[in-house]
Chains A and B, each alone.
Chain A
């Protein structure tokens, strides 16, 4: 039921709305056809980021794909939490965990072991448009523990203009979701894993010299 709702919702409402009215264009969506399970790794500037990546997924992959979000920000109140679950299959993780609770990494790792896919923003929070800030180590630990799962790098170009941090007005402007090909990191070292992931996203960024981020 939820799967059907999500497929229809994204195919009939979200994707056409993003394309026709906001001005979103997807590049290399075929990246998802070749992999069963994946971790999407993207830069993060806007509340539009997650919804745009979900809209690019093939419908049948939606149900098993989870967006990872901060519990203290999105989990407040039942409405927000329910909506996040309904639209993004969100896994809400606690940034400040109490003693005895499983760590965020363990929760995500468990989902990967079940065969689910994840959407991660390793910058942690939405930074300055066009600037990729330092990555948190979580993505590297997950890739280290699950070397068989490929990651799909994504560069989100221009969403920081459409809906920047701390703003509520949505301005339609041309922006792109640029998917890279699925990759497996050849290394087991945490720092080099982080480097590989970041490099992959930066390569996508430099594919187009046009700057869709600065005002």
Chain B
């Protein structure tokens, strides 16, 4: 079988996504010509950014794995650079930051070749030993503990966790023909729509705040409505995966909860740094990490749930 042939379910999903984006862009364009306004400018800006993001995800899910790997690795790079830029590092940390960037090609090399053991120990072990020692060599011990832990944490979030997506390219699943593209679009769709569901249910029914001191916009209704809707979506989209109905429900529910966790963690970090967004890289959306906060957590969780459920 041709490796790069697009399977029918995947073709349908991508057809729907691009049809939806086309309709949105056209609608906003036509309405803005009749009644221009600030809200519409914002919506148009956001939709245009979604086009670029959708094209990127399309390349990852439909293109050859090597191209997808390079693209995901580059997303890691942008996210890592963004976190390094806002986290308030010391001048003495510069050489450690320089070393940290080189984890990306190494980690994604292991991910691409499915070299699973070094994939798991490279950052948690090798870098956890290397980075603190490079910091020690700088000779400045003031607040060195903060840098030691923060550089590793940021590496785990933006490189280690995100690189699990690439493992999906090499997963051998008997009887499953859609391929990695189906798994990745399932992960991305559930993670993305979970954000939307949580926002929607929160606006609709939200009263009781769930994390009042960290993120005043998050409510219990948003959280519960969100994870249940995501579980439903996971069930509905299971034709993209090898999962059974029950397994898809559990996966959807878990990704919903984990998406919330990622969102909450980055919200707390942003609050501490007194930032609304991590950057202004993506017009209408904020920084790269504002978009990736959930998927960095859901990607490894999805990979492990999947390998657990499909174990013969």
Q: Which of A169, A171, A174 contacts B82 (CB 8 A)?
A: A174
A25–B88 Cα distance when bound, in Å, is: 20
**Closest B residue by C-beta to A173:** B85
B85 CB contact (under 8 Å) in A23, A164, A167, A169 = A23
- Closest chain B residue to A215, Cβ basis: B91
- In the complex the two chains form, is A215's CB within 8 Å of B90's CB? yes
In the complex, chain A residues whose CB is within 8 Å of the CB of B81: 23, 172-174
A197-215 vs B, Cβ < 8 Å mask (1 yes, 0 no): 0000000000000101011
Q: What is the chain A residue whose CB lies nearest that of B82?
A: A174
Closest to A167 in B: B94
1/0 contact trace for B77-95 toward A, CB 8 Å? Answer: 0100110110011110111
**Which single member of A158, A169, A174 contacts B94 (CB below 8 Å)?**
A169
The residues of A that contact B74 with a CB separation of less than 8 Å are: 20
Residue numbers in A under 8 Å from B85 (CB-CB): 23, 158, 161, 173-174, 212
Partner of B93, one of A20, A23, A215: A215
A172 CB contacts on chain B under 8 angstroms: 81, 101
Does any Cβ of A come within 8 Å of B98's Cβ? yes
CB-contact partner of B84 in A25, A173, A214, under 8 A: A173
Q: Is the CB of B91 within 8 A of A171?
A: no
CA distance A171 to B151 in the complex (A): 14
Q: List A residues at the B interface (Cβ < 8 Å).
A: 20, 23, 25, 158, 161, 164, 167, 169, 171-174, 210, 212, 214-215
Which B residues lie at the A interface, using CB under 8 A?
74, 78, 81-82, 84-85, 88-91, 93-95, 97-98, 101, 275, 279, 281
Q: A20-B74, A169-B98 are in contact. List 4 more A-B contacts (CB 8 A).
A: A161-B85, A171-B94, A172-B81, A173-B81
What are the 5 closest A-B residue pairs judged by CB atoms, nearest first? Answer: A174-B85, A215-B91, A173-B85, A215-B90, A23-B81
